[in-house]
Chain A
């Protein structure tokens, strides 16, 4: 049963079409990445899922039912930009959002404390939000979206403003939530995180889905024309006629072969010039697929 489903959804603002005929589906226990360059329509799509704006045409289903506000009680939402009351204490803020989602005050307080421990911000519970760093505020926003135990978690750029340590903490938490059977959909520009976390993706450009499916299948569908070579000795083989593009990082080279380029021939040339420790034909990275698909115009 899909937890969230968009069926040919379209949204236009004044003269600009933000989202055009977009369809996607996220199942329970699935992590879904919504990708695309800036202004592609990711935030517009997320806002429609959350009932903040209404589609001009198409249908949105939450928990297998046409969209209704009641369903939002089971959805956790983290917006692209932090939306917190600056003058409020962190714990009061979390209790307020918990209560808006239907929790009793005592229960909301209990959960706020437990989540604060889990996200390593227990010391900040009694501080005013304005006293905290951007990263800390992002973690509070993250907790606020999860306090009511949602079945669907929608996050617009959840890693923005986080340092590497906190980004790993959020990644770990998202994986735990996924393991608990929750459906998670998030937008990001960080392709490495998408590769690590997502089961499926939808790449949006100019409001349209230009690439969608399971990450594994998408990557497998691309030709293995990437070669990673680790070597010692002359790098002369990087001038081979088989190579379209090569990046040399002192003994570690990343190579894109020409169309119909011969990897075996390249291996022979490399072995003749240098000592080879690793020679591997690899799939293109999501980042390469992203750039290739949106024509190199993406800002990611």
Chain B
């Protein structure tokens, strides 16, 4: 145990002091935030502050469309209504050509057929503004017809805009908790991504470290001092501690940001996301179990390889369960207690991610957590057994790539 501790400590300190750890600890959340932030800001700006023109023989319809475009807060557009004459049409189209006007919606209202709309713009790809025009046209049309039947303006508005439904989750103890399916979906999705990303990153770190030690012949020295099982255990524990340190930094920073007044103001209403204690405890547990399962497998495979490029060949196979987990996302979010969802949350390679996706909509029963964790521990033991055999033979094999029959033979005779 003394050697396991020393090897784990060395691995931990080397990685934590390394440039890659500092860069990823600070850089990854920044990149993540930048991607989300830039996307959000870009969306805010797209199709905003435009000068639009509506022309229709039906003045009431033109006004209704203008009203709909003006109430769109994201648009912040200037909307003019002009008479639907050929002279006006030619004049406005000239303004579209010179980009003094960003778009013209021309509505024909023939007596013998329904209205027909045409949209003119200087760009062929302005689908957001075109979509906004289409919505305004349809809503304006409905508004005009319903107002014509004598419906009250408030009811017309409700029909046109639709009504938001307040949703509540009834907890097991009978408590009613305000819920938001979309927010829950994103919470589960982000946590599952974080879980799969960290598991893969640290699993790869273990594999890379095994290959580096193999190519630098450190194994030769180490094997004369320590048992291969101790070396593998020390490496897995050391890298796991690095991962836990990084996740702890992210969580503490994240918690500090979430607790700040700015975040509190931003995360209300539809964006309000609640984290439970169960999620807080189970996240590190599933990270550790997922990490141990994948990294012990990667360590064994890495010992059979000569270079990182060779190792990359195994990665799609090893990462397949992660893809499978995400492929099931809609099925799980729609019915987190379906047979497939439960089975995938108990199947060790997919359990960490699927369990978190399930927890996002409803906390599964305790026995399912216990069974999934139990099955994972048994699988980890099995994979460790197999990998430690590959490891002790593979690390001394230089110069040629191991074939599958060789790998199976190593597992048998070592």
Contacts and interface: CB of A to CB of B under 8 A. Distances in A.
Query: Do they bind each other?
Result: yes
A190 interface: no
Nearest to A148: B225
Contacts of B224: 50-52, 72, 75, 77, 79
Contact of A96 (B6, B216, B219, B220): B6
Interface string B11-25: 000100010000000
Nearest to B15: A87
Contacts of A96: 6, 10
Contacts of A51: 223-224
Interface stretch (A97-105, A171-179, A276-284): A97-105
Interface residues of B, number: 19
Contacts of A88: 10, 14
Contact of B6 (A69, A81, A99): A99
Given A84-B216, A96-B6, A99-B6, A52 B14 contact: no
Given A96-B6, A100-B3, A85 B226 contact: no
Given A79-B217, A83-B222, A101-B225, A52 B6 contact: no
A244 to B, nearest CB: 42
Contacts of B225: 72, 97, 100-101
Contacts of B10: 85, 88, 96
B396 A144 contact: no
Residue of B216, B225, B227 contacting most chain A CB atoms (<10 Å)? B225
Contacts, number: 58
Contact of A77 (B218, B221, B226, B396): B221
Contacts of B227: 69
A110 interface: no
A50 B223 contact: yes
B3 A82 contact: no
A53 interface: yes
Contacts of B396: 47, 52-53
Interface string B219-251: 111111111000000000000000000000000
B235 to A, nearest CB: 13
A83 B14 contact: no
A265 B6 CA distance: 71
Contacts of A101: 225
Interface in A97-134: 97, 99-101
B217 A81 contact: yes
Nearest to B226: A100
B6 A83 contact: no
Interface string B191-218: 0000000000000000000000000111
Contacts of A87: 14, 18
Contacts of A97: 221, 225
A83 B18 contact: no
User: At the interface, is chain B mostly helix, strand, loop or mixed?
Assistant: helix
A101 B3 CA distance: 9
Contacts of B220: 52, 79-81, 83
Nearest to B395: A52
Given A52-B396, A77-B224, A97-B225, A85 B218 contact: yes
A86 interface: yes
Interface in A36-51: 47, 50-51
Interface in A64-93: 69, 72, 75, 77, 79-88
B276 to A, nearest CB: 41
Residue of A52, A79, A144 contacting most chain B CB atoms (<10 Å)? A52
A43 B55 CA distance: 91
Contact of B221 (A53, A75, A79, A99): A79
Contacts of B14: 85, 87-88
A38 to B, nearest CB: 14
Contacts of A83: 216-222
Given A72-B225, A79-B217, 15 more contacts: A50-B223, A51-B223, A51-B224, A52-B396, A79-B221, A79-B224, A80-B220, A81-B217, A83-B216, A83-B217, A84-B216, A84-B221, A85-B10, A97-B221, A141-B221
15 contacts: A50-B223, A51-B223, A52-B220, A52-B396, A72-B224, A72-B225, A79-B224, A81-B217, A85-B14, A85-B218, A87-B18, A88-B10, A97-B225, A100-B6, A141-B221
